[in-house]
Amino acid sequence: MILNADLHVHSCFSMASSKDMVIDNIAPQAKLKGLQLMGTGDALHLGWLEIIENSTKYIGDGIYSTEDCDFVLTTEIEGEKKIHHLILIPTIEIARELGEKLVSVNKYKDGRPRTKMNGKEIMDLAKEHDCLVGPAHAFTPWTGIYKAFDSVHDCYGQKPDFFELGLSADSNMADTVKELQDIPFLSNSDAHSPWPHRLGREFNQIELEDISFSSLKSSIKQNKIKANYGLVANLGKYHMTACTKCYKLIDPELAIENKLKCSCGGTIKKGVDFRISQAATWDKPHHPDFRPPYIHLMPLAEIISMVYDKGVTTKTVQRKWKELIDNIGNEIEILINTPIEKIARVNSDLVPAIEAFRDKSLHISPGGGGKYGEISFDKELREKEVEKSKNLTLDNF
């Protein structure tokens, strides 16, 4: 069987997460998105484990099921140097054992526990309990592995089970780095709210023998990921080098020359695109034979928001989104496969935008510094934004 899986989200117990991130909201929204398997996130938090037990039915081999979708236990841990690690866990019993052994001051306060353990120690602990482990959003400038290391081996001492790309990167970018050639890539949403423009904005299409932790583990290790789906990389909020205060895009070399301080007084963060260029072995991607296609997505609600010039969470956008879902089906099908004439019968206003998304003619003002990129039909706006960052000098910085 082939199913869609988003394996990295957070619960209501994580800092900066919505109080609505509970199973009873996540599961039905996952179904509307077109996802069949979800990571629980935050599986070392005792309060969250209790909610999982009360809101799902355990059907064996690591799967906690609801009427709308199935769940597998996952957690993100912040380790030494503030690097984030993603762990896939076989059962609640093992999650509790991991929690007991994790050296952390906040493991029962925050859904994402912090520890002084390094990557090798975290990997050893995970492997001891038959878990899968790898770097979370690996290129992100605040908490990604490449923030602090030039190699995944320097962090873990060995190859991780997988490598999560993060919202600001895709396979074409990551496959310029030679050391990643034999590591499976995961693309997950890292969602902090259950709403359609967050949940499943990145996901994996995986071939499984059956719905079980054992099958999921085997499929990841045997490279049975059939496709990675994710944001167009420059929509990611750390894609370009930019100021974290005024969000001005800045040439990376100029930023370094200016000691990563912006003229507005803010801190400049290196973009994912620049960090990958520093780590890259080749100018162009070298995809290994097993690497699946990377299929770019944009949240449907974001496209509706652009067309109607209304905020994503406004009643107008949410109503238009629900009309499409109710009349056509899940979001992934609408974005990628539904015939345009069928979409037109529900909402003809959206046809030009869906067509532009599919033929890649929508234009993006790139994200950076913590601000997501923005989509529009305005090609000149995008080109001016990029050129402005290239043309900065110390004199006009």
Q: Give the model's pLDDT for residue 196.
A: 82
Of 272, 239, 211, 193, the closest CA to residue 367 belongs to 239
| Residue that finishes a domain, picked among 214, 234, 254 | 234
**Tokens of residue 154, six digits:** 């320097």
Structural domain of 345: 299-358
In a domain, 338, yes or no: yes
Whether residue 219 is found in the same domain as residue 309: no
In a domain, 23, yes or no: yes
Q: What is the per-residue DSSP string for 224-267? A: -EEEEEEE-GGGSTTSB-EETTT--B--HHHHHHTTTB-TTSPB
Show the DSSP H helices in the chain as ranges: 23-33, 46-55, 92-101, 119-128, 145-148, 152-156, 171-174, 213-221, 252-257, 272-279, 300-308, 315-327, 331-336, 340-346, 351-358, 379-391
The one-character DSSP state at 208 is -
In a domain, 303, yes or no: yes
Whether residue 223 is found in the same domain as residue 303: no
Across the chain, which has 397 residues, the per-10-residue mean pLDDT values are: 97 95 97 97 97 98 98 97 98 96 86 95 97 97 95 96 97 98 98 93 97 98 97 94 95 92 93 95 96 95 95 94 95 94 96 94 92 81 49 48
Contact between residue 226 and residue 4 where contact means Cβ atoms under 8 Å apart: no
| Residue that finishes a domain, picked among 234, 261, 278 | 234
Contact between residue 204 and residue 186 where contact means Cβ atoms under 8 Å apart: yes
Report the number of distinct structural domains present in the chain: 2
Whether residue 48 is found in the same domain as residue 184: yes
In a domain, 396, yes or no: no
Buried b (16+ CB within 10 A) or exposed e, 228-243: bbbbbbbbbbbbbbbb
Whether residue 180 is found in the same domain as residue 307: no
Q: Give the model's pLDDT for residue 108.
A: 81
**Region of residue 152 (left: phi > 0; alpha: psi -120 to 50; beta: else):** alpha
In a domain, 123, yes or no: yes
Q: Give the model's pLDDT for residue 49.
A: 97
Whether residue 184 is found in the same domain as residue 310: no
Whether residue 24 is found in the same domain as residue 111: yes
Whether residue 210 is found in the same domain as residue 137: yes
Residue with tokens 């507005």: 264
In a domain, 57, yes or no: yes
Residues 382 and 346: their CA atoms lie apart, in Å, by 30
In a domain, 269, yes or no: no
Q: Give the model's pLDDT for residue 382.
A: 46
- Pairing relation of β-strands 294-297 and 63-65? unpaired
Whether residue 181 is found in the same domain as residue 318: no
Residues 302 and 37: their CA atoms lie apart, in Å, by 23
Whether residue 196 is found in the same domain as residue 49: yes
Beta partners for 60? Answer: 63
**Tokens of residue 214, six digits:** 């054992």
Q: Give the model's pLDDT for residue 110.
A: 93
Q: Give the model's pLDDT for residue 144.
A: 97
Q: Give the model's pLDDT for residue 393.
A: 47
CB-count exposure of residue 289 (10 Å: 0-12, 13-18, 19+): exposed
CATH number, domain of 223, equals: 3.20.20.140
Residues 169 and 296: their CA atoms lie apart, in Å, by 11
Instruction: Give φ, ψ of 164 to 5 degrees.
Output: -85, 125
In a domain, 64, yes or no: yes
Residues 332 and 81: their CA atoms lie apart, in Å, by 37
Whether residue 207 is found in the same domain as residue 92: yes
| Residue that finishes a domain, picked among 216, 234, 252 | 234
Whether residue 106 is found in the same domain as residue 191: yes
Question: pTM of this prediction?
Answer: 0.93
Of 187, 219, 211, the closest CA to residue 201 belongs to 187
Whether residue 354 is found in the same domain as residue 228: no
CA distances from 84 to 43, 64, 78, 134, 283 (A): 15, 25, 4, 9, 27
The one-character DSSP state at 292 is P
Instruction: Report angle CA 102, 108, 114 to the nearest 5 degrees.
Output: 50
Q: Give the model's pLDDT for residue 333.
A: 93
Residues 172 and 232: their CA atoms lie apart, in Å, by 11
